[in-house]
Structure 1
Amino acid sequence: MQLFWEQGYEGTSFDQLIQLMGISPSSFYNSFGSKEQLYREATDAYLSMSATWFAGKLFGTADTREAFKKFLDGTAMEFTRESHPSGCMISLAGTHLPPELTSIRETMAEHRANAEAMMAQRLRKGVEDGDLPPGTDVPALAAFYNVVTRGMAVQARDGASRQKLKAIADLAMQAWPVQNGQERSVKSRRTRPA
């Protein structure tokens, strides 16, 4: 998982994989069938590992705004841990692949869409609970925070510090819609003339 995370699918060679795992080519094919299948299994391992903090931050707090604040702060922390490659394996994976690897690109795009769908689910709960204004454009707000986290992954991979990612997270929270008509909702901000 860490080798694919660090070097990507195409950047990781078959020889590197068998050397790292200490197995023969025949054992590799008997165990995994193909490099692509191993990549999918490594991606599943990453998703299992990251689900703990991802879902834990989003759904572990009753207040929706606080949940997203903890989620973005957690993202800054996780993307800069020294115990594993920087950034996010899913954010950085499969965006530029040749036609014969379309299935990998589509799988990675699906994983990114699933993360956005989880954010939208949490935001809808916030609307239902009264934490967010009824007119909140949930799909747009989920897409916005998804894009922010994907950008944080790229920043981390480029060497951005945890402090820089935290500053991005803090700024992103300024887009949060506020109740009681004191500030415009996300929907009205988006439709306001420039």
Structure 2
Amino acid sequence: MINNPAAVVRRRGRPIAFDRDQVLALAAEVFWRLGYEGASMPELSAAMGITVQSLYAAFRSKAELYQQALAHYQCSTGAFAERALREEADVVEGFLRLLREAAHEYSLPGRPRGCMISTATLTCAVENEGIREFVSTLRANTLKAFEAHIEQGIASGQLRADTQAAALARYIGAIIQGMSVQAQDGADCETLLAIGELAGREIERARA
């Protein structure tokens, strides 16, 4: 049974093929909306437009599908954070842009609110501990990237020499996670922008 014909192509004499990026985007939205444990394989299959058998054949397990869906999210919807820091020459402006864009991204209508990764699998059943650790590592890598960017700012003279890079990175990470939770609880873009503006003032204090 094919539920989403646009995602699937049948070639004569070959098994059903599909656009991997497209089905991963569809799976990501289900996981984003329902969480890892809340998303069932039948629900994922229906959203992706492929049979459960084809799903297992392509991704082997729900855990592998989730990991690949998270990677797809990072490279697509969630890529705004890395892009903001990379494209802004000024370190502080990069973080301010990140906060502004997070406010917009986390509150967009027509899709799950917040960030798929920042609040994913904070707690889970014992048998899914490996998934929780995987997502925790993704969050830790984000903090390391923030810290490295801040350290570059210190080295280049953009930020004060006494700036505590690790602490500031964790502060920004906490704000991002908090904005995600607020968005999930219904905060609109204007409200999230106000949070980002207050956080931005603290980041500005680190300017050299």
TM-score bin, normalised by smaller chain: 0.7 to 0.9
* Counterpart-to-counterpart distance in 2, 1:140 and 1:49: 28
Q: Which moved more, 1:98-107 or 1:19-28?
A: 19-28
Q: Tell me the distance in 2 between the aligned counterparts of 1:50 and 1:20.
A: 18
**Counterpart in 1 of 2:9?**
none
Residue 11 of structure 1: aligned partner: 38
Structure 2 unpaired stretches of 5+ = 1-27
Residue 20 (structure 2) aligns with:
none
The answer to whether the Cα contact below 8 Å between 1:59 and 1:122 also exists between their aligned partners in 2 is no
> So what's the TM-score if we normalise by structure 1?
0.88
Change (3 A) 1:179 1:159: closer
The residue number in structure 1 matching 2:186 is 159
Q: Structure 1 regions of 5+ residues with no counterpart?
A: 181-194
1:149 equivalenced with 2:166 (yes/no): no
CA–CA separation in structure 1 for the residues paired with 2:136 and 2:122: 8
Q: Does 1:84 align with 2:118?
A: no
Identical residues among aligned pairs (%):
34
AA in 1 matched with 2:154? V
1:58 aligns with 2:78: no
SS in 2 for 1:132: coil
1:38 aligns with 2:65: yes
Cα deviation, 1:97-134, whole Å, max 9, x if unaligned, reads 01110110001101111111111111111101111111
Q: Which amino acid aligns with 1:17?
A: L
- Matched residue SS, 2:36: helix
What's the CA shift for 1:163? 0.5
Report how far residue 51 of structure 1 moved: 5.2
Aligned length: 180
1:21-52 Cα distance to aligned partner (Å, 9 max, x none): 23223222211111111111111111111453
